[in-house]
Chain A
Amino acid sequence: MLSRVANSIYWLNRYIERAENVARFISANYNMTLDLPEDASDQWQPLINTTGDHELFKELYGETTRDNAIRFLIFDRRNTNSIYSCVRAARENARSIREYISSEMWEQLNTFYLMINAASEETVMDLPHQFSTEVMNASHAFIGITDATMNHGEGWHFGRLGRMLERADKTTRLLDVKYFILLPSVDYVGSPYDNILWGALLRSASAFEMYRKQYGRIAPRNIAHFLLLDRNFPRAVHYSLATAMKSLNEISGGQSDSYSNKAQQALGRLLAEFQYTSLEEIFDFGLHEYLDVTQTRINQVGEEIYQVFFRVKLEN
């Protein structure tokens, strides 16, 4: 397939995944703040930090209020990672490869964009939860339609590769920010709010129910284990990387126990790390440091993918 097309379908999926994650963060955070006492409800700054755009936010808005945060994360066109910007970028990418993806995928994405474009700020500010749910549903519908209407060939694998790398990155960020906000807040330890806050972290990753089935009790270490190392939970970093690896192997056409290009090498090494590490080792290394290194390595995988597949050089 054309390199440009592969690049577009990869990014299209990353953007949709990004929008979905922002929506999930907002929804979970909003629910949590409603449960907390008023003086303790300043939970919007950590959310901005999760997206990595806190400097831009500070420059544009200054003060962190709920309204500012939601406006910045959902509507602000100056924020390239706002839901609006992501969905718009996804659609632009889709538009440039409309003939490649299925009509159903295009129509779903276009309708998604029209929905975001038509959403009025007032209504969304009133009911951010409902809006976030619509965004998540639209994203899920897109993934489902993609699976059901497009050949599971090279293009589909590029899409899934993009989505999984984005997801792995977002889950590490979520864990990174929340863990360090939550852990030292001794005020809450043992209080009813303790459970609420940790529950919100799980909900941000749509992980609450699945976690409870597996572990029952809310315990910070278990949560870290679940979000990082679980093999079956679809938003866990390990699962995301393993799935990304499957797609990359399909694309590269090589064996699964070796590599034929640098992207495969980089992702394979990262995945092996997640396959063979333990939570104890991670905590010995330092969770924050570990997540930081992981994010850097995910970025490196992205860079290698760009070099290997999207930037075709003339062979002379």
Chain B
Amino acid sequence: MNFTGYDTEGFYDELFDAQGKPRPGADLLVERINSLPDSELQRRQQAAEKALLNLGITFNVYSDEDQTEKIFPFDIVPRIIQAQEWQQLEIGLKQRIRALNLFIDDVYHDQKILKDGVVPMDLVLSAEGFRKPCVGLNPPCGVWCHVTGTDLVRGGDGEYYVLEDNLRCPSGVSYVLENRQIMKRTFPLVFDACSIQPVTDYPIRLLDMLQEMAPSGVRSPVCVVWTPGIYNSAYFEHSFLAQQMGVQLVEGSDLVVHRGEVMMRTTKGLERVDVIYRRIDDDFIDPKVFRADSMLGVPGLMEAYSKGRVALANAPGSGVADDKAVYAYVPEIINYYLQEDPLINNVPTYACWREDERKYVLENLDKLVVKAVNESGGYGMLIGPHASAAEREEFRRRIIAKPRIYIAQPTLALSRVPVLMGNHFEGRHVDLRPYILCGRDNIYVMPGGLTRVALKKGSLVVNSSQGGGSKDTWVINSTDGPSPESPLQEQRQDQEQNQDQEDAPC
């Protein structure tokens, strides 16, 4: 098994440069794979898939009738990121989260940024994620977006861009952790030889962050993970995170508001809950405040929350900042609150509610990707170059009817990675979703994150619901670059400490 004959076909490849040489840090891995006997890699791939199935690391598919669980397809060749490159991304992501958190807080309080006309007021107040009942609320430590999964892509120019900010229960981190486990079993020697930054402490950091949010005066806070239940597509992850943190996994029916406190029903009676990591949309958390028909929610929860009796992560209402219309303004948002230029750029975005940009979009539908601002998971999307004339016509009608809800972006030549296909490798497009925890005093960015692969040849859609798979992501301290003892590294640590202090939102 080897990479002979693997063709990057002019795309930016994450593992090989344009000359077909392994990128810095990837040599050892490529060497190892090339040295494996025939069919050994396939055997390990199959062993990995079997392990995932037996472990029940699956997601639920809503539309399937009989078989409702599938393993998230997993490709055994990891995606490599050099540590120096990662540092830049990490700093850029922290910057973005700080700004978005300040933005949400502002939107629900003084609305300065709206009054100053930096982001159009009507656009924000009509955003799908804006929650009027959250106006004036003060979440603990001023943190709104406790957990974010930011989608990054790399274009043909080799630059990273932010594609989306996911502030509403982003999922996938459990796959990162499980993928890493499987890879350690599969390539122990490579792990030994390379210095790969660990991700396994994520659940510890998550719990630390959650405990920081506990109401003041609570000595040993009781944290729980709140799942909509076993039929939710991300149920595996909810239970995995609860297990890894050693906290209870609760459903709405386990919780009750009793004398102003949130309690859970136990075999010994009611027990108080201090922090809820909720993996359920705003709409469903409290039928008294949001959707009255919610069967999953806890009546009275928002009242307890607004009185500071319980903390919720992420804070209700934080979804206003991951509206795709608001996304178009994130560079301005960063500039407004931090007086800095964004370190990671947005993908150039045309807002269909601006007349000139709409005109451009309608004239160039065959070149653009059009997205509905309130959809996610790869739904409600037109990929112009791959769409039929009829589909484009349909989107033209929709855009003209409701320009407020559409944005368009150029079709990026997303970077690719080699994927094992039968007995050879083929290039497939990828994105990257690092997970970011925003705590009381600092922001943590998981090194690497979830690499999602569009397994269909030529496809740009990486979502698991639409034929996507995943890979382990290795942030490697490359031997080609500066050694860990180099001044650059020390300098960076100083920087980070300073930055951590600046990060403190309290």
Known: A98-B240, A99-B243. 13 other contacts (CB 8 A): A2-B250, A3-B266, A4-B253, A95-B56, A95-B239, A97-B239, A98-B236, A100-B249, A103-B243, A106-B56, A111-B54, A114-B53, A310-B267
Residue A1, interface by CB 8 Å? yes
Q: Tell which of B53, B242, B265 touches A99, judged by Cβ atoms closer than 8 Å.
A: B242
Question: Across the interface, do A99 and B239 meet the contact criterion of CB distance under 8 Å?
Answer: yes
Q: Tell which of A97, A100, A107 touches B56, judged by Cβ atoms closer than 8 Å.
A: A107
A114 to B230, CA, bound (A): 18
Chain B, interface size category, equals: 20 to 34
A6 to B241, CA, bound (A): 20
**Cβ contacts under 8 Å, A106 to chain B:** 55-56
Residue A315, interface by CB 8 Å? yes
Question: Do A314 and B53 contact each other (CB < 8 Å), given the known contacts A3-B254, A95-B230?
Answer: no
Q: Which residue of A lies closest to B253 (CB)?
A: A4
Question: Across the interface, do B267 and A309 meet the contact criterion of CB distance under 8 Å?
Answer: yes
Residue A210, interface by CB 8 Å? no
Residue A251, interface by CB 8 Å? yes
8 residue pairs from A and B, CB less than 8 Å apart = A1-B267, A2-B264, A97-B239, A99-B242, A99-B243, A103-B55, A107-B54, A309-B267
A1-60 contacts to B (CB < 8 Å)? 1-6
Residue-wise, chain B 307-337 has the 8 Å CB interface mask toward A (1 for contact) of: 0000000000000000000000000000000
Q: Which residue of A lies closest to B250 (CB)?
A: A2
Chain B positions within 8 Å of A, measured between CB atoms, are 53-56, 225, 229-230, 235-236, 239-243, 248-251, 253-254, 256, 258, 264-267, 269-270
Question: Across the interface, do B54 and A251 meet the contact criterion of CB distance under 8 Å?
Answer: no
A-B contact count (CB 8 A): 72
A48 to B472, CA, bound (A): 51
**Cβ contacts under 8 Å, A97 to chain B:** 239, 249
**Cβ contacts under 8 Å, A1 to chain B:** 266-267
Question: Across the interface, do A2 and B56 meet the contact criterion of CB distance under 8 Å?
Answer: no
Most chain B CB inside 10 Å of its own CB: which residue of A98, A106, A114: A98
Top 6 A-B pairs ranked by shortest CB distance?
Answer: A99-B243, A99-B242, A312-B265, A98-B239, A99-B239, A110-B56
Question: Across the interface, do B265 and A2 meet the contact criterion of CB distance under 8 Å?
Answer: yes
Residue A134, interface by CB 8 Å? no
**Cβ contacts under 8 Å, A76 to chain B:** none
Give the Cβ gap from B381 to chain A, nearest Cβ, in Å.
32
Residue A154, interface by CB 8 Å? yes
A312 to B250, CA, bound (A): 15
Question: Do A110 and B258 contact each other (CB < 8 Å), given the known contacts A100-B249, A314-B270?
Answer: no
A45 to B239, CA, bound (A): 43
**Cβ contacts under 8 Å, A92 to chain B:** 230
**Cβ contacts under 8 Å, A315 to chain B:** 269-270
Most chain A CB inside 10 Å of its own CB: which residue of B229, B242, B249, B256: B249
Q: Tell which of B54, B243, B248 touches A2, judged by Cβ atoms closer than 8 Å.
A: B248
Give the Cβ gap from B121 to chain A, nearest Cβ, in Å.
43
**Cβ contacts under 8 Å, B266 to chain A:** 1-3, 312
A158 to B266, CA, bound (A): 13
Residue-wise, chain A 240-270 has the 8 Å CB interface mask toward B (1 for contact) of: 0000000000010000000000000000000
A79-131 contacts to B (CB < 8 Å)? 92, 95-100, 103, 106-107, 110-111, 114
Q: Which residue of B lies closest to A251 (CB)?
A: B267
A4 to B323, CA, bound (A): 36
Q: Tell which of B235, B241, B249, B270 touches A312, judged by Cβ atoms closer than 8 Å.
A: B270
A4 to B266, CA, bound (A): 8
**Cβ contacts under 8 Å, A100 to chain B:** 243, 249
A98 to B58, CA, bound (A): 13
Q: Tell which of A6, A103, A111, A312 touches B269, judged by Cβ atoms closer than 8 Å.
A: A312
**Cβ contacts under 8 Å, A2 to chain B:** 248, 250, 254, 264-267
**Cβ contacts under 8 Å, B242 to chain A:** 99
**Cβ contacts under 8 Å, B240 to chain A:** 98-99
**Cβ contacts under 8 Å, A314 to chain B:** 256, 258, 270
